[in-house]
């Protein structure tokens, strides 16, 4: 399949309403979207934090016990049933426990196939105040290997990968995934939107151009249940093609407006065409690997990190960078 409809489904995040209720609402909205957009809809990306909201000062232990899912738990089975019922690939962002790292949680993004099974599980690598695989780097590689750190799912609708939230600002991640074959970057996010181009909106276009990759970015359709004003993360979900062109964009509120056809045949022709625009084929990996190795910036955290420790790590990194 080289052409299909992708949807960045803009859903309200209702903190404290319960994970089961969130899944029920998602199921109804995915079904409604399929009925409205038609059988060509094959990929649905949900916003970041859509099941639980995000930590508001809780410790790692408290949030793990309150909001983290088990990878094989009933919540994923229920979401897999949604994917199967609507014959879509469903991309969902959630917090997870891991039996190999019982003291931590990870922010994960899982892509569920129409079979109901997970075909990709990505754990966010860049997070200022939450643990990541990098914080337990050697052990994480022992358990999952580098393919588990930077997964790309080769599916009937193309090669799918995930760049979570603010990671769209990190060009190295998207480039590494594209070098591994990723054609469609799913970007679940929860961010401030604006009629003007925000830094993340600029970055989405840049990542598409740099890597000849499509970007499907789903933002929250509002946020309730916490003190932050509800429209602080509302609107701007978008679909961008491999040339950085905006194909669809949503305004505020819960909506399926951010839906568009992805043309993978055109993307693949562009990747095979010699010329200045084929930036992915012009990457000097050896040069940059050597240069990056010269610089000591962020280091893995020690133990179970709290916000103070993670902030101190950033302060130390800034000191190493700028003296």
Which CATH number does the domain housing residue 52 bear? 3.60.110.10
- Are both 202 and 313 inside the same structural domain? no
Going residue by residue through the chain (323 aa), what tens digit of pLDDT does each one get?
899 999 999 999 998 889 999 999 999 999 999 999 999 999 999 999 999 989 887 888 988 998 999 999 999 999 999 999 999 999 999 999 999 999 999 999 999 999 999 999 999 999 998 999 999 999 999 999 999 999 999 999 999 999 999 999 999 999 999 999 999 999 999 999 998 999 999 999 999 999 999 999 999 999 998 888 989 999 999 999 999 999 999 999 999 999 999 999 999 999 999 999 999 999 999 999 999 999 999 999 878 888 888 999 999 999 999 98
pLDDT at 306: 86
- Give phi and psi for 230, each to the nearest 5: -60, -30
In angstroms, the CA 86 to CA 27 distance is 9
- Are both 273 and 216 inside the same structural domain? yes
In angstroms, the CA 219 to CA 174 distance is 18
pLDDT at 304: 86
| CA–CA–CA angle 113, 119, 124 (5° rounding) | 120
pLDDT at 56: 83
Q: Please identify which residue in the block is written with the tokens 């080769």.
A: 154
- Are both 313 and 278 inside the same structural domain? no
In angstroms, the CA 51 to CA 24 distance is 10
pLDDT at 138: 95
- Are both 306 and 175 inside the same structural domain? no
- Are both 313 and 183 inside the same structural domain? no
**CA atoms 113, 136, 147, 129: torsion sign:** positive
As a whole number of angstroms, the longest Cα–Cα distance in the chain is: 58
In angstroms, the CA 208 to CA 184 distance is 9
- Could you give the residue ranges of the DSSP H alpha helices within 113-170? 137-149
pLDDT at 129: 87
Q: Please identify which residue in the block is written with the tokens 């604006």.
A: 194
Buried b or exposed e, range 8-27, using 16+ CB within 10 angstroms: bbbbbbbbebebeebbebbb
- Nearest residue to 256 via CA among 216, 224, 229, 228: 216
- Are both 278 and 300 inside the same structural domain? no
In angstroms, the CA 207 to CA 211 distance is 6
Q: Which residues contact 83 (CB under 8 A, 6 or more apart)?
A: 89, 90, 112, 113, 114, 115, 116
pLDDT at 116: 98
In the chain, how many domains are there? 2
| CA–CA–CA angle 121, 262, 31 (5° rounding) | 65
- Are both 175 and 308 inside the same structural domain? no
Q: Which residues contact 221 (CB under 8 A, 6 or more apart)?
A: 10, 11, 12, 13, 47, 234, 235, 237, 250, 252, 253, 254, 255
- Nearest residue to 237 via CA among 221, 225, 249, 223: 249
Residue 28's Cα: distance from chain center in Å? 22
Q: In which domain, by residue range, is 147 found?
A: 4-283
- Are both 301 and 203 inside the same structural domain? no
- Are both 157 and 218 inside the same structural domain? yes
- Are both 186 and 300 inside the same structural domain? no
- Are both 66 and 182 inside the same structural domain? yes
- Are both 263 and 302 inside the same structural domain? no
pLDDT at 173: 98
- Rounded to two decimals, the pTM is 0.96
């Amino acid at each position: 399949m080289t052409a299909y409809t992708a949807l960045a489904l803009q859903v309200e995040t209702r903190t404290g309403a319960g994970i089961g209720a969130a899944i029920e609402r998602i199921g109804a909205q995915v079904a409604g979207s399929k009925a409205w957009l038609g059988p060509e809809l094959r990929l649905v990306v949900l916003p970041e934090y859509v099941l639980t909201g995000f930590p508001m000062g809780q410790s790692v232990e408290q949030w793990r016990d309150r909001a983290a899912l088990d990878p094989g738990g009933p919540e994923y089975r229920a979401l897999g049933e949604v994917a199967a019922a609507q014959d879509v690939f469903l991309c969902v962002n959630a917090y997870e426990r891991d039996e190999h790292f019982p003291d931590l949680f990870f922010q994960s993004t899982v892509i569920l196939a129409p079979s109901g099974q997970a075909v990709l599980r990505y754990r966010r690598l860049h997070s200022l105040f939450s643990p990541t695989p990098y914080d337990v780097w050697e052990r994480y590689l022992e358990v999952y290997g580098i393919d588990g750190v930077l997964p790309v799912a080769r599916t009937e609708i193309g090669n799918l990968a995930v760049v979570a939230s603010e990671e769209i600002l990190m060009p190295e991640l998207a480039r590494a995934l594209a070098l591994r074959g990723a054609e469609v970057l799913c970007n679940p996010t929860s961010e401030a939107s604006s009629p003007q181009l925000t830094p993340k909106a600029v970055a989405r276009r840049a990542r598409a151009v740099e890597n000849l990759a499509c970007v499907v970015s789903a933002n929250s359709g509002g946020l309730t249940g916490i003190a932050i004003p509800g429209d602080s993360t509302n609107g701007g979900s978008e679909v961008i093609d491999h040339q950085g062109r905006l194909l669809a964009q949503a305004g505020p509120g819960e909506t399926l407006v951010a839906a568009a056809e992805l043309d993978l045949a055109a993307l693949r022709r562009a990747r095979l065409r010699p010329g200045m625009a084929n930036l992915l084929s012009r990457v000097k990996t050896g040069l940059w690997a050597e240069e990056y190795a010269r610089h000591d910036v962020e280091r893995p955290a020690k133990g179970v990190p709290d916000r103070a420790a993670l902030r101190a790590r950033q302060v130390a990194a800034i000191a190493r960078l700028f003296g």
